[in-house]
Structure 1
């Protein structure tokens, strides 16, 4: 008889909480802290949890369920980014010698309205001002470009003092620094004086 498939490892209560918290902001370190892990080890625990097959699978399944409930698809996200990335301020206001005039909201298409981040008006005894702010075109175009592979990949080259080999005892610290930078958490303090270069491939 064929062997039955090995049952998947069940998550502990703390691991289940980590999965729930990770879905909030996709920050593994903060998710670990909110799930009850020590703040001192939260960074490494979060990183390790994401690499565990059973936790990665639980996160993937939860994200799929969330996408189905909210009808969020890759196509919809890209369409929304394209709306913002290719928006034109001239659709929202006109300007000339007589001043600046905003376009009425009922004169905007649904695609144009989706680009508006903020509209405000200030009225004082001396007059007033009106302000319209769109979502960031630069950020939207950057995300679209990354999805389409328009930016060359980068690799990190790290060397020890004076270009020599990295001492064994410092390698883990270097790896942690690179992971923090990739995760957008900034540089770690107190690390050895190493040389790091980014080289486009």
Structure 2
């Protein structure tokens, strides 16, 4: 079945940000009903197929695969900050080989030099900046990466699914049959 102009526009808009409600609004559906219409549209096999074909074309065109995305998320999710920084207590005196280099006298931290850091750890670093008191390193959000990977692998359910047949059989079991 061929898509209507509005449905095709919905598919195109949905691919921008995967936001059902906003895609429906941008495609010309009413703001009041955009959420429900958008979800109804996603259930239609012809729209689902059009979205999948467009995503496959985009993946082919860009050369980006689900495996690559998961691999990048894994770099963030399984990061170990000890591969990016070194820390430890050092003496305050200036004569020691490990003398306090930052002048603070407490747990100096140094970045692993860029030529020593491995690619996976470098991919997990979000920001490196120089502050008045030293160097600041910020890693990408580990928990968000793990949750994204878990969702992709089907480990988490965003919606509660109810088996109606099981529910009805439980009700029948608990209700006394009037013929008995």
Q: TM-score, normalised by structure 1?
A: 0.64
- Per-residue CA shift, 1:48-85, capped at 9, x if unaligned? 11011211111010000011112222322222122111
- Residue 63 (str. 1) matches residue 55 (str. 2): yes
Per the TM alignment, residue 139 of structure 1 is displaced from its structure 2 partner at its CA by 2.1
| Larger RCO: 1 or 2 (CA < 8 Å, sep 6+) | 2
Map residues 1-201 of structure 1 onto 2, 5 A cutoff.
9-98=1-90, 99-122=108-131, 127-150=132-155, 155=160
**In structure 2, how many angstroms separate the alpha carbons of the residues matched to 1:156 and 1:63?**
27
> Which protein has the bigger strand share?
1
Contact persistence 2:110–2:135 (CA under 8 A): no
SS at 1:105's partner residue? coil
- Counterpart secondary structure, 2:32: coil
What secondary structure, in the 3-state scheme, does the structure 1 residue paired with 2:28 have? coil
Aligned counterparts of 2:59 and 2:109: Cα–Cα separation in 1: 42
Q: Larger C-alpha radius of gyration, 1 or 2?
A: 2
Shift of 1:156: 5.5
| Number of aligned residues | 145
CA distance in 1, matches of 2:112, 2:38: 48
Q: Which runs of 5+ in 2 are unaligned?
A: 91-107, 163-180
Counterpart CA distance in 2 for 1:25 and 1:88 is 31
Once residues 47 and 34 of structure 2 are traced to their aligned partners in structure 1, the CA distance between those partners, rounded to angstroms, is 16
Where 1:114 maps in the other structure, the secondary structure is helix
Residue 153 to residue 22, structure 1, CA distance change in 2 (3 Å): closer
Structure 1: runs of 5+ lacking an equivalent: 1-8, 158-201
